[in-house]
A and B are shown apart, each in its own frame.
Chain A
Amino acid sequence: MKGFINVFKREFNIIRHKPFILFITLVYPLFFTLIIIWTFISGTAINLPTAVLDENNSDVSRALIRTVNSTRTVNIKYKLSNIKEGYDLIRNGKIYALLVIPRDFKSDLNMSKQPKIVCYYNNQMILTGGLISKDIQAAISGLTKSNINLISIDERVKSNPYLNYSYFLTYAGIAHVFQVFAVLLSVWSIGIEFRQGSTKEWLHTADNSIVSAVFGKLSLYFLILTILITCSYIFYVVFCTAPFEGSIFYTFIGACAFIFAYQMMGLLFIALLANLRFAFSLGSVYVSLGFTFAGMTYPAFAMPLAARIYSSFLPVRPFVNLIVNQALRDIPVIYDIKYLVWILTISLLGVSSLPLLKKKVLNEELWYQI
């Protein structure tokens, strides 16, 4: 225990004199957290620019346009006179959708000739395009008088009834920021001992116990990062009025396990490679792929097997499940325990590499490598 405390003090003294590392540990994670919160703060996308080409220009077509314009996502910004203008506007990103009402719309309607209304939308931006086309369709089909349906759909959205995607992205985005720092700081703090040739002195401070040496060092970053991630989420919930329905305590435990698991992955990398630069590169690949492979933009269950296997080694996947379940879905804690177990299982990989690290710490040939 004395060794643990000595290493903790030693680490504190190391970073105290390194303004760059202090900045990276204390300020930088918060900076990115704020950027992410700020990006999504407006909530749902509303009033997206849309154009309309009304070749009919009758009372019926104008009424139709008014209805479309009154939906939340749509803002009819341009009234065009030819279709080419519309294509150009979509292509250079000035509008997301283009609604075309044919010339004989009203008369065809009266003669029961089933005129066609066409909505072109930009599907290169899947989320935005999908949102706007769905809303336009809903607005227009609501117009039809004969919209008496035998079967209606009574939709009960269990979580996030406003279809506000920003909550999910913000919760997941913050987790992503912290996984990066947990891995990089853990790789750096151990790797720098190899780079500077001070591994023996470090182990000596820990009374030759590799456990005290590693955990004394990492506990400093663990403390800082768990405090920061907790503050980030609290800030998001309290000041940005994001929903949080479930157990705060359990989520906190989850966050601690999450930070710990990533620190252990960093430990694993440095124990395997015993080289600051290599471990850093491996760690960067691991964390940068994390966001995509954990299924933040495209769900993991729809990925090929290889990607699913890889993603099961990313603590961010169970953690995002856990925090989203607790924050948005109000799922009883008991169903989320498996995620905690999952996170802790991954961290065992790192813990089991401690004997290997001890061997390498004593090898002076591994010093000063770049």
Chain B
Amino acid sequence: MVSNLVKIIKDEFKNMILDKGVATIMVAGIFLYSILYTIPYHNHIVREVPVGIINNDNSALSREIVRELDTSEYIKIKTQPVDLETAKKQYYKDEIKAFIVISKDFERDIKRNKGSFITAYTDSAFLTVYKQIATGINEVINTKNNTLIIGSYMKQGMSKIQAKNTKIPFEFINIPLYNPVGSYQNYIYPLVLIMILHQTMLIGIGMICGMLREKMRGTTIRTHKGKAEYIKIEKFCKFSDNSAEIVLGKSLAHVALYLVYSFLYFLIYPPLVTYQMTYKIISLLLILIPFLFSVSFLAQALIYFYKTRESALFIYIPSSVPIVFLLGFIWPNEAINPILRLFATCIPAVPGADALVKINQMGADFFQVHNDFWILILQCLLYYSIACWGLNRQIRKVR
């Protein structure tokens, strides 16, 4: 039993590393994807969104506001169009993402204590960009308001402290946790790494199974020497007919290889790629191991669908983005339909990413994510049974 298992593990390692097609995914892909994904978020946050400003007042105060808006880290005054039509055209051409209008007599109205306004034409289709513009404008105008009003109170005879307390009776402090600067690298990259582990493992295993099934049916393959040869194998696994043993042996090989990758991703990458990590190794392992087993068993459970070597690519590549949406980080779980949530819970990446991000980025302990752990254990049991049953059918078919 044990000697068989060792042979199966060795054989599966060969499949993963020596088969060029599989190695492209399960070895090269691991490095390639993780390195490529560091590029887009390299700047961490969206700064200096280009906006236009129409200054109809052209007073000292209005020019001051233009200057202050321009120095805000969120936005950059890229153009100063003369009228609304020009501004609109620039917006249509995508030269600016929004535009601001300062009304005529702006300064005069303020000086007479009448109050005035600026008009911000924004575009919220793309929320990430909108958020920066809105924050930038709000910050600048709020600060300006406070100085103006405190100044006018002081003119009425209040002391500076009195004036400040009247304008701002209490302070409101927003404290962002876990990702203080709002870095997109911190936000997306950990999810991307988990998805790379998940997807490459599913595809790789699918390719191995697909190839074996193709060979069982008989297929022509060009060998290393360049000769086309007809190959037909009799057995799915050379060393055993016991599906429980085969599935377990294969998955041990997958998990061993992917644990190495996980160490790379979660222990070595963080300082290199600069993303946040808490290094709670024990909690991490307690989630990582059932997660990787669950992925391996799931991949093997779907053996029926891998008719050919390429089938797995067709099955899994389109699923990446929809799965990312369901992880609960892009879109809050509370806003996702409960039935769809239940469906999503069957995907190992969903409880996996939830627990791993909470441990790795938010500093949760194992007992705070034990729900996810039990879901992963249930998945393991379920997919292991299906994988054994499915493989049995494949083995029987040949006999």
A interface vs B, CB < 8 Å?
Answer: 20, 24, 28-29, 32, 35-36, 38-42, 44-49, 88, 90-93, 96, 105, 108-109, 112-130, 133-134, 137, 140-141, 144-146, 148-161, 163, 165-169, 173, 176-177, 180-181, 184, 188, 196-197, 276-278, 280-281, 284-285, 287-289, 291-293, 295, 297-299, 301-304, 306-307, 310, 321, 324, 328-329, 331-332, 335, 365, 367-370
Distance in angstroms from B222 CB to nearest chain A CB is 4
Cβ–Cβ contact A181 & B175, under 8 A: no
Report which of A48, A153, A161 forms a contact with B334, defined as CB distance below 8 A: A48
Cβ–Cβ contact A160 & B46, under 8 A: no
Closest to B223 in A: A368
- Taking CB atoms, residues of chain A closer than 8 Å to B148 are 150-151
Specify which of A28, A108, A129, A148 lies most central, judged by the most chain B CB atoms within 10 Å of its CB: A129
- Taking CB atoms, residues of chain B closer than 8 Å to A141 are 172
Report which of B113, B178, B188 forms a contact with A123, defined as CB distance below 8 A: B178
Segment at the A interface, from B9-17, B138-146, B245-253, B376-384: B138-146
Q: How far is the CA of A86 from the CA of B295 in the complex (A)?
A: 33
- Taking CB atoms, residues of chain A closer than 8 Å to B43 are 302-304
Cβ–Cβ contact A38 & B171, under 8 A: no
Report which of B184, B199, B314 forms a contact with A297, defined as CB distance below 8 A: B184
Segment at the A interface, from B232-240, B261-269, B316-324, B387-395: B316-324
Residues A123 and B176 in contact in the complex (CB < 8 Å), given A109-B170, A287-B317: yes
Cβ–Cβ contact B307 & A20, under 8 A: yes
- Taking CB atoms, residues of chain A closer than 8 Å to B211 are 370
Cβ–Cβ contact B141 & A157, under 8 A: no
Report which of A124, A157, A163, A299 forms a contact with B128, defined as CB distance below 8 A: A299
B119 is an interface residue with CB less than 8 A from chain A: yes
B282 is an interface residue with CB less than 8 A from chain A: no
Distance in angstroms from A158 CB to nearest chain B CB is 5
Cβ–Cβ contact B180 & A140, under 8 A: no
27 A-B pairs with CB atoms under 8 Å apart are A20-B305, A28-B314, A42-B337, A90-B177, A91-B362, A91-B368, A115-B170, A119-B174, A121-B174, A123-B176, A124-B361, A137-B174, A146-B167, A151-B141, A156-B119, A168-B127, A281-B21, A285-B36, A288-B33, A297-B184, A298-B40, A298-B46, A302-B46, A302-B47, A304-B42, A307-B42, A335-B93
Cβ–Cβ contact B39 & A48, under 8 A: no
- Taking CB atoms, residues of chain A closer than 8 Å to B137 are 153
- Taking CB atoms, residues of chain B closer than 8 Å to A145 are 169
Q: How far is the CA of A109 from the CA of B171 in the complex (A)?
A: 10
Residues A335 and B314 in contact in the complex (CB < 8 Å), given A124-B178, A150-B145: no
Cβ–Cβ contact B39 & A112, under 8 A: no
Q: How far is the CA of A48 from the CA of B29 in the complex (A)?
A: 37
Which 7 pairs across A and B sit closest by C-beta, in order of nearness?
A123-B176, A112-B165, A92-B368, A124-B178, A335-B92, A165-B127, A277-B21
Cβ–Cβ contact B322 & A369, under 8 A: no
Closest to B180 in A: A123
- Taking CB atoms, residues of chain A closer than 8 Å to B310 are 188, 276-277, 280
Report which of B20, B116, B335, B363 forms a contact with A150, defined as CB distance below 8 A: B116
Cβ–Cβ contact B110 & A151, under 8 A: yes
Closest to A126 in B: B187
Specify which of B41, B50, B113 lies most central, judged by the most chain A CB atoms within 10 Å of its CB: B41
Number of A-B contacts defined by CB within 8 Å? 329
Q: How far is the CA of A324 from the CA of B97 in the complex (A)?
A: 14
Q: How far is the CA of A278 from the CA of B21 in the complex (A)?
A: 7
Report which of A48, A177, A292 forms a contact with B318, defined as CB distance below 8 A: A177
Cβ–Cβ contact A157 & B124, under 8 A: yes
Report which of B36, B129, B131, B313 forms a contact with A289, defined as CB distance below 8 A: B36
- Taking CB atoms, residues of chain B closer than 8 Å to A277 are 20-21, 24, 309-310
Closest to A311 in B: B40
Within 8 A of A (CB), among B294-338: 305, 307, 309-311, 313-314, 317-322, 325-326, 328-332, 334-337
Total interface residues on B, CB under 8 Å, equals 116
Having A304-B39, A335-B93, one finds 12 other A-B pairs with CB under 8 Å, namely A39-B331, A92-B364, A123-B178, A130-B182, A149-B145, A155-B134, A180-B317, A288-B199, A293-B39, A297-B330, A302-B46, A307-B39
Within 8 A of A (CB), among B206-251: 211, 220-222, 226, 228
Residues A157 and B40 in contact in the complex (CB < 8 Å), given A39-B322, A112-B165, A163-B127: no
Contact code string B155-192 (vs A, CB < 8 Å = 1, else 0): 00000001011111111111111111010101110001
Cβ–Cβ contact A88 & B125, under 8 A: no
B117 is an interface residue with CB less than 8 A from chain A: yes
Q: How far is the CA of A144 from the CA of B334 in the complex (A)?
A: 31
Cβ–Cβ contact A140 & B172, under 8 A: yes
Q: How far is the CA of A72 from the CA of B146 in the complex (A)?
A: 28
Distance in angstroms from B392 CB to nearest chain A CB is 22
Closest to B359 in A: A91
Report which of B120, B177, B318, B357 forms a contact with A180, defined as CB distance below 8 A: B318
Report which of A96, A153, A329 forms a contact with B138, defined as CB distance below 8 A: A153
Cβ–Cβ contact B123 & A157, under 8 A: yes
- Taking CB atoms, residues of chain A closer than 8 Å to B131 are 130, 134
Cβ–Cβ contact B47 & A177, under 8 A: no
B32 is an interface residue with CB less than 8 A from chain A: yes
Distance in angstroms from B223 CB to nearest chain A CB is 9
Specify which of A45, A88, A105, A126 lies most central, judged by the most chain B CB atoms within 10 Å of its CB: A126
Residues A306 and B128 in contact in the complex (CB < 8 Å), given A91-B358, A299-B46: no
Q: How far is the CA of A108 from the CA of B168 in the complex (A)?
A: 13
Cβ–Cβ contact B149 & A149, under 8 A: yes
Q: How far is the CA of A146 from the CA of B128 in the complex (A)?
A: 32
Within 8 A of A (CB), among B18-44: 20-21, 24-25, 29, 32-33, 36-37, 39-43
- Taking CB atoms, residues of chain B closer than 8 Å to A160 are 123-125
Q: How far is the CA of A22 from the CA of B116 in the complex (A)?
A: 63
Distance in angstroms from A122 CB to nearest chain B CB is 6
Cβ–Cβ contact B118 & A154, under 8 A: yes
Residues A298 and B113 in contact in the complex (CB < 8 Å), given A280-B313, A292-B40: no
Q: How far is the CA of A110 from the CA of B166 in the complex (A)?
A: 11
Cβ–Cβ contact A93 & B124, under 8 A: no
Q: How far is the CA of A114 from the CA of B152 in the complex (A)?
A: 20
Residues A154 and B317 in contact in the complex (CB < 8 Å), given A42-B335, A123-B180, A368-B222: no
Distance in angstroms from A16 CB to nearest chain B CB is 16
Q: How far is the CA of A295 from the CA of B313 in the complex (A)?
A: 24
Distance in angstroms from B347 CB to nearest chain A CB is 11
Cβ–Cβ contact B21 & A370, under 8 A: yes
Q: How far is the CA of A161 from the CA of B174 in the complex (A)?
A: 25
